[in-house]
Amino acid sequence: MKTKIWITALMICALLTVPVSLFAEEMLSANDLDPAASLTGKMTEGIFTLNASPSKSMKIEIMDVEMPAEDGEIFNARISTGGAGDAEARSISFTTTKAAAVTVYTLSSSKTDTRTLAVRDGAGKTIAELPSPPSPAGAEAKVAAFQVPGAGTYTITSKSGGVYIYAVIVK
């Protein structure tokens, strides 16, 4: 009987030492960021980097009214890109060690125009395009998903005009 207890205890210890990264999820949520009047340089949060410059700034904005997403998530802050961007400014970059599923919560900053988010690999090649629908009163944040094919650094940016990004999740 004691042998079974020891074996069970050893198995539990072995399971607890499995690397957390096997089950890990990395999330950048605007809800968790300090609001900034203007972001004019790089800001790193875990595997994510918000890229901005003095001439192409971004903002972390607290909203007066909570923003629901179509899947039920609730946001009280957003990242405003302030316009189209590239790998150096008005973008969010992240690095993965393997292929991953990525989810972005987004809306266009326009009340009438859909904008497109481009996802680019480290060489600048577009690997996905995601719609960022208009944000009239009462809109819900869009949940857009894509896959990154392998290890590398990827950048999310608007192809034209400003967008709001509420969260990015990498699994």
Task: Tell me the per-residue pLDDT of 123-159, one tens digit each, with 9 for 90 and over.
Answer: 999 999 999 999 998 899 999 999 999 999 999 999 9
Domain that holds residue 94: 22-170
C-alpha of 41 from chain center:
18
Question: Would you say residue 85 lies in a domain?
Answer: yes
Mean pLDDT estimate for the chain: 89
Question: Would you say residue 42 lies in a domain?
Answer: yes
Does the pLDDT of residue 48 top 90, yes or no?
yes
Question: Would you say residue 2 lies in a domain?
Answer: no
Average pLDDT of span 35-46 = 92
Question: Would you say residue 8 lies in a domain?
Answer: no
Domain total in the chain: 1
* C-alpha to C-alpha distance for 166 and 23, rounded to whole angstroms: 23
Does the pLDDT of residue 92 top 60, yes or no?
yes
Does the pLDDT of residue 15 top 70, yes or no?
no
Phi and psi (nearest 5°) for 37?
Answer: -60, -45
* C-alpha to C-alpha distance for 80 and 8, rounded to whole angstroms: 51
Q: Which of 69, 53, 60 is nearest to 33 (CA)?
A: 60
**Structure pTM?**
0.85
Share of the chain above pLDDT 90, in %: 83
CATH code, 143: 2.60.120
Does the pLDDT of residue 17 top 90, yes or no?
no
Average pLDDT of span 69-93 = 97
Better-predicted residue by pLDDT, 4 or 112: 112
What region, left, alpha or beta, does residue 122 occupy, with left being phi > 0 and alpha being psi -120 to 50 degrees? alpha
Question: Would you say residue 4 lies in a domain?
Answer: no
Question: Would you say residue 9 lies in a domain?
Answer: no
Residue with tokens 């599923």: 101
Q: Which of 71, 68, 60, 90 is nearest to 138 (CA)?
A: 68
Q: What is the pLDDT of residue 103?
A: 98
Question: Would you say residue 14 lies in a domain?
Answer: no
Does the pLDDT of residue 73 top 60, yes or no?
yes
CA 113 → CA 5, 17, 19, 41, 131, distances in Å? Answer: 63, 49, 44, 28, 11
Question: Would you say residue 13 lies in a domain?
Answer: no
Share of the chain above pLDDT 70, in %: 87
Element (H, E) at 92: strand 91-96
